[in-house]
């Protein structure tokens, strides 16, 4: 018996020794915290992160609970955990300008009620915890109320929330680069980790997020005020151990508000604009664009600076990295992938390959801009507003991106595969010039009704030629339904349409000369002869009457429909609209996105 026991023990020890020998070198388990905001529809790729901070929840109006932006998106974000068991999702409460913290934290009753409501949302939304983003206790810089007692009350609040959500859930917070406003030694026992917002430390002519302010030789960068290194040091000095710190990295830059907007997403940074050049700050370890005099006009981060910041995180032994925010990265994910590759274990990053294959259909196919105006006749504004809804609906499920811009033609048209113009064309000289440049260099245009209107008073010869060399001759009035004859059955825009359909009520323009007389024009639909005479006030008695066409010198379709509130009520006509959009986009100089 004894002998058998010895043998058993020996065998057990052997097994243990084997197990120990086989245990692989564990990769340090660093984390990547991605802020994901409530407005976009794009879904984050969980292989690039371990934590999502959903932004934002807020203190409610009665100071005793939580209000969440876009709850349905939060549900779909937490649903990502099903296929990504490593992923943790927290609700971030606060954000710049998000107030009512001071009032909430001031009384025991409100604090307890708020903490209880945090526990409720954690349970209700299947969350892993709460991230506090009060910017900042005792400060009204963001236009929110504050009190000298905020710091003290914050500590009590943190204890209450911890008590309410329990020890297994995460409680984290965002902290500004100066590490002020919070008694860290008091809150640390209740906090899992602190995200250091090492950005917005300067605006042009200073860097947004320098890594260092000076090098080892003592040379100071002329563009750096604060630095990520100093922000981390400030938090270490405040008594936070390095294992509880993540370094925040911006996926956006700051412009000088002249050459660039204040905030510029990484995805919107093409090559520097004319007259500007890209530089690398050897001391601050970040890139920037400068003008001819060397003045910094855009400060940002790129793959190189992000890689160096990740190396800094590893060298310093920090818990990990954080970034604001996922949607700022470019479509290929250059920055978020870099951060994941630098900091995350291979088992998470390589989950990407599997997901990439099975999620390929979820990649955004293209990007469209809808430009419209309310400062037009009422029936045109009605159509434009319906067009916004119509095209927005077509983006459901994340297939493509639609940006909507009212009265203002965005500066970077080249970011779009197509520009949709319901009932209005660019009016100012500079907008017209930019639109012309865009169209002459591969741009896409889907124009409706009033967008094509031009006459002697328009004073834009290029646009008349663009439309086919035609100007407004006369119109039918009042708006009424019409029998449409579909032309060109071999054309992708009309191939799947019936040869005739009755279009809902609209106003039609007749043109001179006849667009069909221009060899560059392919007519796709016309008014059938049976309609004539058409109109009661303004009567058209006949003649060739094209209503949809393309100028083959450009990537464009003009559609005459678009007056009043009925244009989207016919399924056949809606298909025509969608076909036109699809065809324009399919000929993008970047390649046909529907073939990808």
Name the residues that contact Zn ion, by CB under 5 A: 507, 563
Q: How far is the CB of 379 from Zn ion (least distance, A)?
A: 6
Helix (H, G, I), strand (E, B) or coil at 144: coil
Q: How far is the CB of 524 from Zn ion (least distance, A)?
A: 20
Q: Which is nearer to Zn ion, 323 or 383 (CB)?
A: 383
Q: Which is nearer to Zn ion, 321 or 450 (CB)?
A: 450
Q: Which is nearer to Zn ion, 182 or 384 (CB)?
A: 384
Sign of CA pseudo-dihedral 427, 430, 431, 436: positive
Q: How far is the CB of 449 from Zn ion (least distance, A)?
A: 6
φ, ψ dihedrals at 180, nearest 5°: -90, 180
Quote the strand ranges of 415-520, DSSP E: 418-422, 444-448, 471-475, 480-486, 500-506, 509-512
Q: Which is nearer to Zn ion, 291 or 538 (CB)?
A: 538
Nearest to 229 by CA among 194, 206, 198: 198
The two three-digit tokens of residue 130, written as one number: 């709460």
Measured distance between the N- and C-terminal CA atoms of the chain, rounded to whole angstroms: 70
The two three-digit tokens of residue 584, written as one number: 């324009």
Q: Are 125 and 78 in contact (CB under 8 A)?
A: yes
Size of the chain, expressed as the number of residues it contains: 596
Q: How many Cα atoms sit within 13 Å of 430 on the Cβ side?
A: 5
φ, ψ dihedrals at 470, nearest 5°: -115, 150
Q: Which is nearer to Zn ion, 196 or 484 (CB)?
A: 484
Q: How far is the CB of 221 from Zn ion (least distance, A)?
A: 58
- Spell out a b/e string for 452-474, using b for 16 or more CB atoms within 10 Å of the CB, else e: bbbeeeeebeebbebbbbbbbee
Q: How far is the CB of 506 from Zn ion (least distance, A)?
A: 8
Report the distance separating Cα 420 and Cα 416, nearest Å. 10
Minimal CB distance to Zn ion: which residue?
Answer: 563
Q: Which is nearer to Zn ion, 193 or 383 (CB)?
A: 383
Q: Which is nearer to Zn ion, 330 or 475 (CB)?
A: 475
Q: Are 38 and 73 in contact (CB under 8 A)?
A: yes
β-pairing verdict for 444-448 and 500-506 = unpaired
Q: Which is nearer to Zn ion, 421 or 522 (CB)?
A: 421
Q: How far is the CB of 512 from Zn ion (least distance, A)?
A: 18
Q: Which is nearer to Zn ion, 563 or 582 (CB)?
A: 563
Q: How far is the CB of 384 from Zn ion (least distance, A)?
A: 11
Q: How far is the CB of 567 from Zn ion (least distance, A)?
A: 11
Q: How far is the CB of 478 from Zn ion (least distance, A)?
A: 11
Q: Which is nearer to Zn ion, 229 or 570 (CB)?
A: 570
Report the distance separating Cα 286 and Cα 177, nearest Å. 17
Q: How many Cα atoms sit within 13 Å of 495 on the Cβ side?
A: 8
For the chain, how big is the Rg over CA atoms in Å?
30
Chain centroid to CA 166: 34
Q: Are 420 and 369 in contact (CB under 8 A)?
A: yes
Report the distance separating Cα 453 and Cα 96, nearest Å. 44
Task: Name the DSSP class of 534.
Answer: B
Q: How far is the CB of 486 from Zn ion (least distance, A)?
A: 22
Q: Are 448 and 536 in contact (CB under 8 A)?
A: no
The two three-digit tokens of residue 399, written as one number: 């297939």
Q: Which is nearer to Zn ion, 129 or 479 (CB)?
A: 479
Q: Which is nearer to Zn ion, 169 or 563 (CB)?
A: 563
Q: How far is the CB of 584 from Zn ion (least distance, A)?
A: 22
Q: Tokens 């630095």 appear where?
A: 227
Q: How far is the CB of 563 from Zn ion (least distance, A)?
A: 4
Report the distance separating Cα 473 and Cα 486, nearest Å. 22
Q: Are 181 and 138 in contact (CB under 8 A)?
A: yes
Nearest to 326 by CA among 8, 46, 20: 46
Q: Which is nearer to Zn ion, 73 or 563 (CB)?
A: 563
Q: How far is the CB of 87 from Zn ion (least distance, A)?
A: 51
Report the distance separating Cα 235 and Cα 245, nearest Å. 8
């Amino acid at each position: 018996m004894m002998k058998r026991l010895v043998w058993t023990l020996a065998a057990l020890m052997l097994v243990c020794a084997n197990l120990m020998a086989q245990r692989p070198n564990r990769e340090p388990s660093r984390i990547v915290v991605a802020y994901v905001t409530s407005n976009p529809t794009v879904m984050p790729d969980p292989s690039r992160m371990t934590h999502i901070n959903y932004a934002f929840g807020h203190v409610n109006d009665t100071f005793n609970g939580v209000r969440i932006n876009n709850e349905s998106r939060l549900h779909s974000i937490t649903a990502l955990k099903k296929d990504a068991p490593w992923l943790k999702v927290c609700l971030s409460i606060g954000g710049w300008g998000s107030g009512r913290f001071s009032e909430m934290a001031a009384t025991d009753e409100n604090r307890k009620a708020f903490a209880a409501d945090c526990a409720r949302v954690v349970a209700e939304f299947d969350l892993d915890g709460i991230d506090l983003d009060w910017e900042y206790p005792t400060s009204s810089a963001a236009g929110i109320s504050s009190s000298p007692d905020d710091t003290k009350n914050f500590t009590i609040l943190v204890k209450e929330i911890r008590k309410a959500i329990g020890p297994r859930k995460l409680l984290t917070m965002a902290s500004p680069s100066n590490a002020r406003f919070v008694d860290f030694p008091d809150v640390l026992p209740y906090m899992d980790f602190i995200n250091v917002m090492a950005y917005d430390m300067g605006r042009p002519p200073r860097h947004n997020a320098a890594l260092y302010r000076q090098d080892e030789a003592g040379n100071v960068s002329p563009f750096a005020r604060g630095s990520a290194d100093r922000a981390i040091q400030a938090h270490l000095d405040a008594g936070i151990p390095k294992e509880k710190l993540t370094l925040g990295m911006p996926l956006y830059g700051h412009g000088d508000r002249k050459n660039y907007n204040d905030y510029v997403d990484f995805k919107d940074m093409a090559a520097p604009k004319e007259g500007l050049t890209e530089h690398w700050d050897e001391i601050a370890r970040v890139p920037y664009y400068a003008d001819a005099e060397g003045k910094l006009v855009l400060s940002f981060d790129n793959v190189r600076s992000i890689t160096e910041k990740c190396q800094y995180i590893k060298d310093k032994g920090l818990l990990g990295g954080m970034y604001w925010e996922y949607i700022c990265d470019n479509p290929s994910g250059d920055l978020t992938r870099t951060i994941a590759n630098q900091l995350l274990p291979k088992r998470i990053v390589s989950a990407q390959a599997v997901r990439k294959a099975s999620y390929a259909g979820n990649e955004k196919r293209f990007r469209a801009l809808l430009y419209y105006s309310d400062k037009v006749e009422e029936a045109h504004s009605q159509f434009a507003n319906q067009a916004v809804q119509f095209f927005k609906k077509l983006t459901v499920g994340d297939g493509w991106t639609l940006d909507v811009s009212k009265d203002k033609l965005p500066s970077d048209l080249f970011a779009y595969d197509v520009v949709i113009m319901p009932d209005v064309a660019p009016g100012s000289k500079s907008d017209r010039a930019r639109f012309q440049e865009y169209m002459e260099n591969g741009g896409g245009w889907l124009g409706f009704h009033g967008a094509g209107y031009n006459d002697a008073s328009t004073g834009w010869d290029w646009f008349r030629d663009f439309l086919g060399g035609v100007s407004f001759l006369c119109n039918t009035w009042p708006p009424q339904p019409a029998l449409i004859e579909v032309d060109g059955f071999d054309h992708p825009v009309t191939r799947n349409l019936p040869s005739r359909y009755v279009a809902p009520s609209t106003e039609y323009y007749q043109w001179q000369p006849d667009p069909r007389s221009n060899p560059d024009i392919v007519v796709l639909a016309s008014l059938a002869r049976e309609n004539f005479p058409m109109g009661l006030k303004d009567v058209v008695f006949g003649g060739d009457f094209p209503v949809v066409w393309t100028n083959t010198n450009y990537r464009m379709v003009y559609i005459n429909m678009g007056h009043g509130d009925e244009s989207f009520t016919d399924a056949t006509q809606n298909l025509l609209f969608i076909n036109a959009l699809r065809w324009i986009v399919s000929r993008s100089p970047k390649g046909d996105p529907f073939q990808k």
